[in-house]
Structure 1
Amino acid sequence: MAELPMARPSTVETPPMPAEMRYPAGALAGDYARAGAGLALTVLPLALLPVTPWIAVPLGACAVLFAVFAARTAQRQMTRLTMDGDGLRADGPLGAAIRWDKLSDLRLRYYATRRGRDDGWMQAALAGGGKTIRFDSNLEGFDAVIERASDAAGRNGVALSPVTVDNLIALGIEPPDDPNEEASAS
């Protein structure tokens, strides 16, 4: 059997392959359970018991909130994010696309479930070209998207809030230099 010649490393930078990311089903199961329990606790009394308007109105308002939460969870499940060398695209309900060279804002927030910040999640919002894409840290590949967005923000001269900078550092991502500090140093 003939040996294949060794491939030489390319000197031309090839664009990275598109990466598709979704929310894992396990990460959304808890949200579906909470929405279902909330709907059961609010809709069932309205449907099965005679209630006064003083009780029906708050229960109905809570039912609407739980229904919106369930719809938002379903929207997250149906959305697929695709990241490539050109930008980030969200395919699904309320989809959008942002090119890296048009990125004009990056916000990264941490929401703690306990006072000690031991457990919680991050939520990111990327904006550019009049579009905004929001996603949270349950998304597979969250860190890779944030790292790419941070690099694009640095190239585009986007000033990041101190909260976003702190959260980038917490993720182990070197934040870009602040363009406002460079301008004031000159």
Structure 2
Amino acid sequence: MNDALPIRLHYPAGQLLGDDLRALAGLVFALGLLLASDFAPLAVWICGPLALLFLLFGLRTLLMHVTEGRLEDSGLERRIGLSTWGAHRRMNWRDLEGLRLRYYATRRQRREGEGGYFQLTLRDPRGRMKFESTLAGFEDLIEAAVAAARHKGLSLDETTCDSLLHMGLDPRA
């Protein structure tokens, strides 16, 4: 782990560009078809939910753009902020109740050993915090969270242990 704490955590804009473009292209495509069909009932049933799906995906990506974190010895702080709205959350390592790490990839990505992404879910009495591996500082966050889980004696499920091994970390050490 990086010994220079605190560490700033954020999603680099370049990492999110692909998701931005996919959300925009999907939304434009679905709305374009909907408008071109003159709101025919079948088009509304197909393109309406599709447009909503891409809109929600775009909002999720927007939230990642405005998410910042701070990793410290004592815990983790996350701030999601827009100019008119913001949410702040702190999780102390001593309150950690659960840690899950999942690897998501297509069958081809798994077979070739490239691609895919990890999703970390941390849980304490106040709720959950989720982070994806595109987060700058993700490896440091994983190491700190696993160290806190070990210190507390939390058991890790088999999928989390496999994902840690896939990242090159020994879950038992």
Give the TM-score band, short-chain normalised: 0.7 to 0.9
Structure 2: which 5+ runs fail to align? 82-86
- Between the aligned partners of 1:169 and 1:50, the Cα distance in structure 2 is 53
SS at match of 1:92: strand
Aligned match of 2:50: 62
Aligned match of 2:78: 90
Aligned match of 1:168: 164
SS at match of 1:39: helix
Q: Once the 2 structures are TM-superposed, how far is the Cα of residue 95 of structure 1 from its aligned partner?
A: 4.1
More moved, 64-73 vs 106-115: 106-115
Is 2:93 aligned against 1:100? yes
In structure 1, give the amino acid aligned to 2:139.
Answer: D
**What are the equivalent positions in structure 2 for 1:65-84 lying under 5 Å apart?**
65-84=53-72
Q: Once the 2 structures are TM-superposed, how far is the Cα of residue 111 of structure 1 from its aligned partner?
A: 0.6
Is 2:43 aligned against 1:18? no
- Between the aligned partners of 2:47 and 2:108, the Cα distance in structure 1 is 30
Q: Once the 2 structures are TM-superposed, how far is the Cα of residue 46 of structure 1 from its aligned partner?
A: 2.1
Between Structure 1 and Structure 2, whose CA radius of gyration is higher? 1
**What are the equivalent positions in structure 2 for 1:99-118 lying under 5 Å apart?**
99-117=92-110, 118=113
Whether the 8 Å contact between 1:42 and 1:63 is mirrored in structure 2 is yes
Aligned match of 2:121: 125
Q: How many residues align?
A: 163
Q: Once the 2 structures are TM-superposed, how far is the Cα of residue 86 of structure 1 from its aligned partner?
A: 1.1
Q: Once the 2 structures are TM-superposed, how far is the Cα of residue 18 of structure 1 from its aligned partner?
A: 1.3
Instruction: Give the TM-score normalised by structure 2.
Output: 0.87
Is 2:149 aligned against 1:153? yes
Q: Once the 2 structures are TM-superposed, how far is the Cα of residue 57 of structure 1 from its aligned partner?
A: 1.8
Whether the 8 Å contact between 2:9 and 2:137 is mirrored in structure 1 is yes
SS at match of 1:107: strand
Q: Once the 2 structures are TM-superposed, how far is the Cα of residue 123 of structure 1 from its aligned partner?
A: 0.6
Bigger relative contact order (CA 8 A; separation at least 6): 2
Whether the 8 Å contact between 1:24 and 1:139 is mirrored in structure 2 is yes
Q: Once the 2 structures are TM-superposed, how far is the Cα of residue 129 of structure 1 from its aligned partner?
A: 2.5
Whether the 8 Å contact between 1:83 and 1:145 is mirrored in structure 2 is yes
- Between the aligned partners of 2:88 and 2:108, the Cα distance in structure 1 is 34
- Between the aligned partners of 1:101 and 1:76, the Cα distance in structure 2 is 26
In structure 2, give the amino acid aligned to 1:84.
Answer: E
Instruction: Give the TM-score normalised by structure 1.
Output: 0.82
Structure 1: which 5+ runs fail to align? 1-14, 178-186
More moved, 94-103 vs 45-54: 45-54
Identical-pair percentage: 36
- Between the aligned partners of 2:129 and 2:88, the Cα distance in structure 1 is 8
In structure 2, give the amino acid aligned to 1:99.
Answer: N
SS at match of 2:170: coil
- Between the aligned partners of 1:95 and 1:63, the Cα distance in structure 2 is 30
SS at match of 1:57: helix
